[in-house]
Structure 1
Amino acid sequence: MQLQAHRQSLDDPKEFWLKHALELVDWKTKPTAATDNPPEDALHCAQWFPDGKLNACYNAVDRHIAERGDQIALIYDSPVSDTVRRFTYSELLREVKGVASMLRRHGVQRGDTVLLYMAMIPQTLFAMLACARIGAIHSVVFGGFAPAELAKRIGDCRPKVVLSNTCGLESKTKIVPYKPLLDKAFELADYRPSATIILQREQLRVRLDPAHSEYYWDTELVEAASDADTIECEVVDSNHPLYLIYTSGTTGMPKGIVRPAGPHVVALLYAQRYMYGLQPGETMFTFSDFGWQLGHSYCAYGPLLNGSRTVLFEGKPIGTPDAGQIYRVFSEHDVRVFLCAPTVVVVLRRTDPEGLFRAKYDLTHMRGLFLAGERLTPEIHRWWIATITGRAVPVEEDSVACGKEVSCVVSDNWWQTESGSPMTGICIGHSTNGGHIARIKYGSAGLMLPGCDLRVVRVKDDLDEDQGVDGNPQLADPEEVGNIVAKLPLPPGFLTSLWNDDRRFVDAYFKRYPGYYDTGDTGMIDSEGYVHILSRTDDVIKVAAHRLSTSSIEEVIFNHQDIAECCVVSRPCEIKGRVPMVFAALHSGAQSARIKQIKLEIVQLARSRVGPIVSLYAENIVFVDRLPKTRSGKILRKMMRTMIDTVHGDAKQGKDSSVIDCPVGTPATIEDVAVKSDIWKTIIDTIGKKS
């Protein structure tokens, strides 16, 4: 059924998407055309449902009041503050109207930008929906972001109002104050909004400065309450920006993704119903901050658009207080669909490999558990299936079927900030009969979703990797690894531009392969149409003229029984150009006396599974306590690679890297800066005197 829907979407995309747009969405003015029919050389500018008009907040909240006003819409579960609160759709509407009235009182109108620098609390969601209600464009920045990176975003979108709260909670005892970070960002950006409205959390209260147009959230809400009921939904064009979300780069200006309202609503609702199989009234738990795309799409908008319940979780997979919190949420809130990054599962596996916390709960009610954000290795995939279902998963099998019922399906899916919703995956919502669901292949991100016409193009060695334009891209054969692209036009919901930078929009995504969207990922499509995402194109190692994906090496290393986590990056080699370097964390039960033997076993695994060309040597395998990650769980490979090149370059020049602080910039998204320092020291000890 999934393959049939995909074929229909490519054979007649206009009919396919217009049909779903009219069925899934409440429009103020229904669209009569699917696209604006751009010329062949402007397909990247295609606009979906161009004559349609709507309001996203109306679709997410107001339209459900008649039938679902008393149904729970939002569950706020915060183990770090010992809080569980529930809001019905009627209560959610009242809260959203209050914030919308507060924004209107400060002059926010349709088309204005509002920046949210906030924690995972209900008020953040209220503010996002309030902006959508009045036609303002919100930009959510992860609370606790470093001032320099926050300043870049403030300077770029120049918000009329900034909304914030006094602190974030890392744990019951660790508080991150936001106000000093925000003040420093204003100073660096040399810009202040007309108003900064700050919510006082009970864990930290601060004094505000009226001279800087700083206002107390609760006071402003009270003063705006009298007009709250009069704040109706602002009707906007289908392609009016719903929000900006900035991609996080370690250098330069982050890209401000512009998300069109109407197409995004259609794409989210399609995925909710058919990909994730979520029904109105059911609960979805997306383990992600609102500052990331995953949080925007499937913690904030997706479930509410669908008339479902969403779980807003303020905590971590472990340590707040233990590795059982996620399973508790599954059980306590009757979660049917779960979405997270693979790193969440890796952390659970390392902390609770036997699944003892999982065994405390009955999870037979769950329908689907989806993973996205990084590649899901077969070893982690099998462990998660076994842990959730309690069934043994044979290592020799390369795929698994759903069974008779669609229950506890564990599947990978692939998407990007730019897409806003999945491009590949296994759709479990087409049927309640598991026999109608496609098999799940380990190591694959699933089959293409409707509207996504993915291809793999061959890498040309004579093409400049940064500036080259391939005017005649050659399509790869099935199973052949290359760069993954999407044939234009793109499906509904993709970015329509970059904020204040149309030229960069073209150069970053459409210049390299004319007629295609360049995903920046490498991988292959097998003979059955399953898409295998291996790594970012800059994570491919060229070893003696052979291109090796770091993720394919990681996949092999994960099969070693003592490895809990691992990351492969490249290091310079005088003979072969670059060779792999492995950073790995051991399971708590691993014996330190076996370190040397474990290294030799990993080398042998890599040589036998990847081949001798892998060129992995024992001296290039190091064990660490923790890997450097972003707050969303992605390993900071580029930072590690830059560190290695820096130390190697210093050693070649006779310099001692150990006498200087790490000169490599700290990514704004890093979870723990201390881990960066540990990795820097490890690299110096490993290669500083050997390069």
Structure 2
Amino acid sequence: MWKQGHGDATAIIWEGNSPDEDKTFTYSELLAQVKRFANVLKAQGIRKGDRVCIYLQMVPELTIAMLACARIGAVHSVVFGAFSADSLRDRINDSECKLLITQDTAFRGDRSGIPMKANGDAAVAKCPSITGVIVVRRTGDSVDFDESRDVWWHEAMATADDECPPEEMDAEDPLFILYTSGSTGQPKGVLHTTGGYLVYTSFTHEIVFDYHEGDVYFCAADIGWITGHSYIVYGPLSNRAITLMFESIPTYPDFGRYWQVIDKHQVNLFYTAPTALRALMKEGNDWVTQHSRSTLRLLGTVGEPIKEPEWLWYYNIVGDGRCPIVDTWWQTETGGILMTPLPGATPLKPGSATLPFFGIEPVILDEEGKEVEGNPARGYLCIKTAWPGVMRTVYGNHERFRETYFDRFPGYYMTGDGTLRDEDGYYWITGRVDDVLNISGHRLGTAEVEGAIGQHETVAEAAVVGYPHEIKGQGIYAYVTLMSGVSPSDDIETGIKGVVRQYIGPHATPDKIQFAPALPQNPLRQNYAAHPSLVDGRK
């Protein structure tokens, strides 16, 4: 629980892209930065209810900007820093943001010069609602600067007032919009509100991770996704926790980076995705065991189901067989964790999301919408009763909210996931039951990727499905029919991948492209992932 008089306690440890770069912010320092930037936002004409788009990598200014928006009642919309200019444009226009916050360029592992400002410029050129752009100087690289529109973060902060009283908010006032992929091509603006979301993230963070005062908590997610919102920023900071932000990647400068960070900052609680674990497990145990990891007492996973091999490696090698694993299941829409073991209390089963969190009532429904009683059981995973952190609507489209989550099974929240409940009542997530892929813990709609592929001038039609991927869990398998008279080639395949990166971002690049003379025009097209020869031009 919050106590006064802890302004000197550490709030954020920021670990930069380079192992030699880090910063620490106390709660007093963080509050001072948030107040100043809140006044910068006001100077830009931002008021309660206005939307602000934040397009930053994992720099401290990202958290400061989010909290400053919350302080004055502005609604932030964070866009993942790997999204393209086109994806950024679509999200800005959908939420009608008035202001964009970005940075000059970015580092990402051994990559430098990632064109954040250039992407922002390209996006806002087609965003009539944007009236200003605030730019963080991260790398010092030269960027185009519109003196009539753009403002440097550091210059605006230098002249901003120190005091900014918080806006009075109703519990149901919007806090943020975060876009997630749907089964149609247009991403959904998931809207979370102030009271319920903050209560739920605070409570789940404290209980699920068994947080105690002084623990160093490291969630290795990106704040551009819901895990970072809930369990890097809002949940931990609501609990006066020490939360660690990580700008880099787990393989830079080598495969021991996570474990080096854990030793360097004496991390107690570590939360990451199975995709990262699979990639690191493949490189062998030495990268782990050369680091102490002696401060660890709890491990967590998020974003996708974890398979037994990486679960056992995580438990036995990373945790030395002494750290419980909380394998959590939840969604952007749910705001916080819905299923999880309770550390030290719930018997663990490798790969199972185990049991519902307090107050959550999961049910399994059959095709007719009837609850499947008894164990074992298999079917559609739905939630029977509401909880504080649930999303309130799809921004600007409440009908889509109702259709997506409540029409199929009236009276239940439809998660879009299938599940198995075993003989002990434990839940096992079996994957999506809609046209949404889970790529390295990131959700992508098949229609969204198909639409991007279709932007290539040689493509007549495309169908995208998921397939089992050794590292990412699911990979993207694209079937492509070319225009009449066009023959498949390596250059066309490269061009298609480039178009997807341009329209969505690198994380949406197809892993495999198969050219086919024609594609089936019904939902059975999804079956072809398991039988590529069925649409092979030779068959």
TM-score by length of 2: 0.85
Q: Is the 8 A contact 1:248 1:669 kept in 2?
A: no
* Letter aligned with residue 168 of structure 1: A
Q: Is the 8 A contact 2:191 2:391 kept in 1?
A: yes
> Corresponding residue for 2:500?
666
Matched residue of 1:415: which SS? Answer: coil
CA RMSD of aligned residues (A): 3.0
State the shift of 1:80 in Å: 3.3
> Corresponding residue for 1:473?
370
Q: Render the CA deviation track for 1:267-303: whole Å, top value 9, x for unaligned.
A: 1121122111012321111111111000101111111
> Corresponding residue for 2:354?
446
Once the two structures are superposed, the pairs formed by residues 103-502 of structure 1 within 5 Å of their partners are 103-189=41-127, 191-211=128-148, 213-224=149-160, 227-229=161-163, 231-249=164-182, 252-318=185-251, 320-350=252-282, 352-353=283-284, 355-391=285-321, 407-428=322-343, 434=344, 437-459=345-367, 470=368, 472-475=369-372, 477-488=374-385, 490-502=386-398
* Structure 2 CA distance for aligned equivalents of residues 423 and 532 of structure 1: 13
Q: Is the 8 A contact 1:162 1:197 kept in 2?
A: yes
Q: Is the 8 A contact 1:457 1:482 kept in 2?
A: yes
Residue 12 (structure 2) pairs with residue 74 (structure 1): yes
* Structure 2 CA distance for aligned equivalents of residues 111 and 164 of structure 1: 20
* Letter aligned with residue 258 of structure 1: L
1:86 pairs, out of 2, 14, 24, with 24
* Letter aligned with residue 111 of structure 1: G
Matched residue of 1:328: which SS? Answer: helix
State the shift of 1:175 in Å: 2.2
> Corresponding residue for 2:461?
none
* Letter aligned with residue 218 of structure 2: F
* Letter aligned with residue 71 of structure 2: R
Residue 32 (structure 2) pairs with residue 99 (structure 1): no
* Structure 2 CA distance for aligned equivalents of residues 322 and 477 of structure 1: 48
State the shift of 1:197 in Å: 0.9
Matched residue of 2:166: which SS? Answer: coil
* Letter aligned with residue 214 of structure 1: D
State the shift of 1:148 in Å: 1.4
> Corresponding residue for 2:443?
none
- Structure 1 unmatched ranges of 5 or more: 1-23, 25-62, 392-406, 429-433, 460-469, 541-579, 586-626, 628-632
* Structure 1 CA distance for aligned equivalents of residues 258 and 139 of structure 2: 25
Matched residue of 1:82: which SS? Answer: coil
Q: Is the 8 A contact 1:81 1:172 kept in 2?
A: no
State the shift of 1:159 in Å: 1.4
* Letter aligned with residue 376 of structure 1: I
* Letter aligned with residue 137 of structure 1: V
Q: Render the CA deviation track for 1:44-71: whole Å, top value 9, x for unaligned.
A: xxxxxxxxxxxxxxxxxxx65x321111
* Structure 1 CA distance for aligned equivalents of residues 516 and 262 of structure 2: 40
* Structure 2 CA distance for aligned equivalents of residues 286 and 448 of structure 1: 21
> Corresponding residue for 2:527?
none
* Letter aligned with residue 332 of structure 1: K
* Letter aligned with residue 500 of structure 1: G
Q: 1:672 to 1:496 in 2, by over 3 A?
A: closer
Q: 1:145 to 1:584 in 2, by over 3 A?
A: closer
Matched residue of 1:297: which SS? Answer: helix
State the shift of 1:174 in Å: 2.6
Q: Is the 8 A contact 1:80 1:169 kept in 2?
A: no
Count the aligned residue pairs: 497
Q: 1:522 to 1:584 in 2, by over 3 A?
A: closer
State the shift of 1:203 in Å: 4.0
Matched residue of 2:506: which SS? Answer: coil
Once the two structures are superposed, the pairs formed by residues 597-612 of structure 1 within 5 Å of their partners are none
State the shift of 1:165 in Å: 0.7
Which of these two proteins has the greater Rg computed from alpha carbons? 1
* Structure 2 CA distance for aligned equivalents of residues 362 and 105 of structure 1: 48
TM-score by length of 1: 0.67
Matched residue of 2:86: which SS? Answer: helix
> Corresponding residue for 1:60?
none
Q: 1:151 to 1:425 in 2, by over 3 A?
A: same
Matched residue of 2:78: which SS? Answer: strand
Q: 1:584 to 1:269 in 2, by over 3 A?
A: closer
Structure 1 window deviating more from structure 2 (81-90 vs 659-668): it is 659-668
* Structure 1 CA distance for aligned equivalents of residues 26 and 294 of structure 2: 26
- Structure 2 unmatched ranges of 5 or more: 437-464, 518-531
Matched residue of 1:418: which SS? Answer: coil
* Structure 2 CA distance for aligned equivalents of residues 683 and 280 of structure 1: 59
Q: Render the CA deviation track for 1:87-116: whole Å, top value 9, x for unaligned.
A: 111111111111111111112111111110
Identity of aligned residues (%): 30
Q: Is the 8 A contact 1:110 1:134 kept in 2?
A: yes
Q: Is the 8 A contact 1:656 1:688 kept in 2?
A: no
